[in-house]
Amino acid sequence: MIEILRAKSAGFCFGVERILEMAEELLAEKNGPVYCLGELIHNPQEVERIQKMGMKFIQDPSELPKLDHGGWGRVLIRAHGVAPRVKEAIKARGYEIADGTCPLVTIPHRFARDLVTDGYRLVIMGHREHPEIQGILGEVEGAGGRADVVSGIEEIGQLSLKASDRVGLISQTTHPYPKFAELISSVLEKVLEVRAYNTICYATFERQDAIRELAPQVDVVIVVGGHQSSNTNRLVEIASEYTSCYHVEEASELMAEWFQGVRRVGISAGASTPERAIREVCHRIRTLVGES
């Protein structure tokens, strides 16, 4: 009989639960159109569920229909946050803002503003195109500064740092802490002064620590979550350091051959993955191996 072990920490984080509750409450009010700027969370199935409830999705404030005098509408800001100028553009079109930015995401926003205001050269570790990074860059721009974005220490050489530089360091909240620690050490070798803030959220720590503990104990790991989810992809990377690992969004993607000769399966899930999806994956595994 196959044994399925779940990571101690997996699935929805506080920020995702909060934004989904906000979306459902706004739609339940039925007081007018409700828009979401960008993808609500990095989970296509949950986004589709919210869309079926009536949420309209846009990629830019310019897509919002102009409201007539006395008209009413709301725009929900996703958990990743947006730049201040984006919020101003929404208000300029007559819409109210329901700000669903995760409180933990606002922490690097604040530190980024403080660092550029204090005259530090800001370096952010993360993925430039990620919506969270775009939000941080917008905050920096609003504070009259600029920032460099790197995804790893191999990109440090491109920054042309000078020994006299005062460098401020922050990270995308879902980035692996060991990589951020490497960045701090690498920059310290090049400049005299570094101010670094650990802006990686506790949910990321918990999930990454849990997968490090689980993966060595099993024959294969299944990570459930959106393929575009940064935090989910980090879990896949970590698990793959210890054992075979497969990344699925839905139970239907599971393949029987993954479990041939396997006695123990580990299950983890990204921060945007509902409990329902995790249970479906566990059930599907048992079906594929003939135990259900």
Number of domains in the chain: 3
Polymer length of the chain: 292
245 annotated as a binding-site residue: no
Q: Which of 48, 70, 99 is the last residue of a domain?
A: 99
Cα–Cα distances in angstroms (integers) from residue 187 to residues 2, 152, 172, 248, in the given order: 47, 11, 17, 36
Same domain, 71 and 154: no
- Element housing 108 (H / E): helix 106-117
Burial class (CB in 10 A: 0-12, 13-18, 19+), 93: middle
Same domain, 69 and 141: no
95: CATH: 3.40.50.11270
Active site (annotated) includes residue 237 = no
292 annotated as a binding-site residue: no
What residues in the chain have per-residue pLDDT under 50?
A: none
Same domain, 90 and 22: yes
Catalytic residue among 132, 189, 193, 206: 132
For residue 185, the enclosing domain spans 106-200
Same domain, 26 and 77: yes
Cα–Cα distances in angstroms (integers) from residue 106 to residues 98, 111, 145, 221, 222, in the given order: 15, 9, 17, 32, 31
How far apart CA 145 and CA 99 sit, in angstroms, is 24
Same domain, 195 and 228: no
Same domain, 72 and 18: yes
223: CATH: 3.40.1010.20
Q: Which of 74, 99, 124 is the last residue of a domain?
A: 99
pLDDT per position as a tens digit, 183-217: 999 999 999 999 999 999 988 889 999 999 999 99
Side by side, which strands form the sheet with 74-77?
56-58, 34-37, 74-77, 96-99
pLDDT per position as a tens digit, 51-76: 999 999 999 999 999 887 667 899 99
Q: Which of 79, 99, 119 is the last residue of a domain?
A: 99
Same domain, 91 and 122: no
268 annotated as a binding-site residue: no
Distance from chain centroid for Cα 98: 19
Same domain, 122 and 178: yes
Q: Dmax of the chain from CA atoms?
A: 67
31 annotated as a binding-site residue: no
Same domain, 247 and 272: yes
282 annotated as a binding-site residue: no
Same domain, 111 and 193: yes
User: The pTM is what?
Assistant: 0.84
127 annotated as a binding-site residue: no
**Phi/psi at 5 (5° precision):** -115, 130
Same domain, 251 and 283: yes
Same domain, 47 and 114: no
Whole-number pLDDT of residue 70: 65
Beta strands in 214-285 (DSSP E): 220-224, 244-248, 264-269
